[in-house]
Amino acid sequence: MSLLLDEIALATARLAEAGVPSPRTDAEEIAAFVHGVRRSELHTVKDADFDALFWEGVARREAREPLQHITGHAYFRYLELAVGPGVFVPRPETEVMTGWAIERLREMDVNAPLVVDLGTGSGAIALSIAQEVALAEVHAVEVDPAAYTWAKRNITELGQGRTHLHPEDLAEALPELDGKVDLVISNPPYIPPGAIPRDPEVRDYDPARALYGSSDDGLAEVRAVERTARRLLRPGGWVAVEHADQQGRAVYLTFPEDNGWRDVRLRQDLTRRDRFVTARLGQD
């Protein structure tokens, strides 16, 4: 066994003792990042090339700093995004909602669908849709200056020319697109202010503005998404909004038939927990 693989084994034990959920994977990701190889190529690193900076990264992860902050990137669907302090690290749960949106857009009888991502953060949702849906024009909205900077970097580096970034509040965004949009999607802040996340990676590192809703129930921004989507969508257009697993019924009721919504559905994430609501704007 090579020196690096021995060190990874030791690091795995340290990370497991620190309560890191995926210690082996994280140790390998740090090793691959430090040595400039893929995880599948770790066995090719020669003993003489072992870099002690590996242990600096392990110590940071042991202190529960997010892996993505250590490596500087996060994976989301088919993308590798730049992330770091000041921006929400995208989660696998959001990939499920994004996949649903991509499927709806592909089914639409629209040549160049118009999409709005409200509260884009790193740009993960917007860039995935632009990459995977042919001819889609995606408008990403982000009011927070730090997150906006990360989104701009990702849009620039990933070269999605059909993704347009706007420094606007999601409650007032893009009035010039009223009644024209085919799909609105959002992963807004929704955690109630008093419900502090247990995971240190979330609690201590994700920006509060991306986590906590501005009302006691955490759903003020979800209600703002409903109003904005109702304004932006064309008749027959779709909306998808993420929420916490225990908020499903409350978010479902945020899209009432009296406001023109049809086909309102609670949908589940990879763990079969309620995770996002979808609805279609009626055509009558």
| Residue 104, in any domain of the structure | yes
Q: Is 256 annotated as a binding residue?
A: no
Give the per-residue pLDDT at 1: 61
pLDDT tens for each residue of 141-174: 999 999 999 999 999 999 767 899 999 999 999 9
Residue/partner pairs of 222-226 with CB below 8 Å, 24 or more apart: 222/188, 222/190, 222/247, 222/251, 222/254, 223/254, 224/170, 224/171, 224/188, 225/118, 225/170, 225/184, 225/186, 225/188, 226/254, 226/255, 226/259
Q: Are residues 48 and 17 in the same domain?
A: yes
| 113 labelled ligand-binding | no
Could you tell me which residues come within 8 angstroms of residue 191 by beta carbon, excluding any fewer than 6 positions away? 197, 211, 212, 213, 218, 244
CATH number at residue 242: 3.40.50.150
| Same domain as 98, residue 49 | no
121 is in an annotated binding site: yes
149 and 94 within one domain:
yes
**190, 221 in Cβ contact below 8 A?**
yes
Q: Is 176 in the same domain as 249?
A: yes
| Annotated binding residue 188 | yes
Bridge partners (DSSP) of residue 262 are 280
Residues spanned by the domain of 242: 85-281
Please report, as a single letter, which amino acid is at residue 108: M
Q: Is 151 a member of any domain?
A: yes
Q: Are residues 92 and 123 in the same domain?
A: yes
CA distance 89 to 143: 17
SS (H, E, C) 240-264: EEECCHHHHHHHHCCCCHHHCEEEE
The HSE-up count of residue 4 (CA atoms within 13 Å, CB side) is 24
**Does the annotation place 36 within a ligand binding site?**
no
Domain count, the chain: 2
Residue 154 annotated in ligand binding: no
Annotated binding residue 257: no
Question: pLDDT tens string for the chain (284 positions)?
Answer: 688 999 999 999 999 999 999 999 999 999 999 999 999 999 999 998 999 999 999 999 999 999 999 999 999 999 999 999 999 999 999 999 999 999 999 999 999 999 999 999 999 999 999 999 989 999 999 999 999 999 999 999 997 678 999 999 999 999 999 999 999 999 999 999 988 888 999 999 999 999 999 999 999 999 999 999 999 999 999 999 999 999 999 999 999 999 999 999 999 998 899 999 999 999 86
Claim: this prediction has a pTM higher than 0.85: yes
Instruction: Identify the three-state secondary structure at position 160.
Output: coil
| Distance, CA of 130 to chain centre | 15
Q: Both tokens of residue 140? A: 């990403």
Residue 90 annotated as lining a ligand binding site:
no
